[in-house]
Amino acid sequence: MLTSLNNAVSGVRAQMLRMDTLGNNIANVNTEAYKKNRTNFKDIFYRQTQGPGLPVGENVMTGSGVVVSGTEKLFMQGSILSTDRGLDFAIEGPGFFGLDLPDGSVGYTRNGNFNLDGEGFLVNQDGLRIYPYIQLPPEAGTPKVDREGRINIEGEGEFWDDPDIIELFHVPNPSGMEAVGEGVFVETEASGFVSLGFPGEEGLGYIKQGSLEQSNVDLGEEMVEMILAQRSFQLNTQTIRTADEMWELANNLRRA
């Protein structure tokens, strides 16, 4: 019965972590380009049940409970919301915008809510310049950007022969990246080799100006998951209660 108590306690802790993940998803339902987390579980090692007086054979194995093996980012496309703002960009399909991080490394984001800094560089809301750099002349108005990322400044007419292009990064396994906050991710060994390319190339989506990608959190799905987590938590606590009652019965046995 001690085993059943330990197993149930591990289940209670696992469901608490699951609820933490679900709560974070729901809290970010209105965060641009937020990618929801999923909690993954795995069972703990098995051991052979033996002992004097136990009514078991030689090959009886019992588990040791459950553990949270990790949380996984799910990079399904969020809905695209039109903002009619010239410096808002959404990616239709796979791919990431690059950001020049303070430590000199490159970060990756799906949030295309950009602005211009004092030097005319395209930056995100935290002032991080997109990478490769895009710098517009001081007299330029709001640029026009086509689906392939080519930039046309008002007054220049058609796209010039060698226009600046907003490039995108292809990540083979986005779920393997490490989230560092503010909708920014960094490369890891698990994410695979990150390559740079133009929108519309193989493995990369297109850019839609005047729009932003929304969170991919489905509130209905999260509520169902929350109910399942609550039910699992309740059943594990019931297991603890039942095992405790059985121990009480065993401790109160009296010889005739």
Q: Where are the domains of the chain?
A: 2-73+218-251, 80-213
- Identify the pLDDT of residue 252: 83
- pLDDT tens figures, 182-227: 999 999 999 999 999 999 999 999 999 999 999 999 999 999 999 9
For residues 207 and 168, give the distance between their C-alpha atoms in angstroms, rounded to a whole number: 9
Sign of dihedral through CA atoms 226, 227, 228, 233?
positive
Tell me the whole-structure pTM to 2 decimals.
0.85
- Identify the pLDDT of residue 161: 47
- pLDDT tens figures, 71-118: 999 999 999 999 999 999 999 999 999 999 999 999 999 999 999 999
- pLDDT tens figures, 42-75: 998 887 776 666 677 677 777 888 999 999 999 9
Q: How many helices (H) and strands (E) does the chain have?
A: 2, 19
| Cβ partners under 8 Å of residue 101, min gap 6 | 107, 128, 184, 186
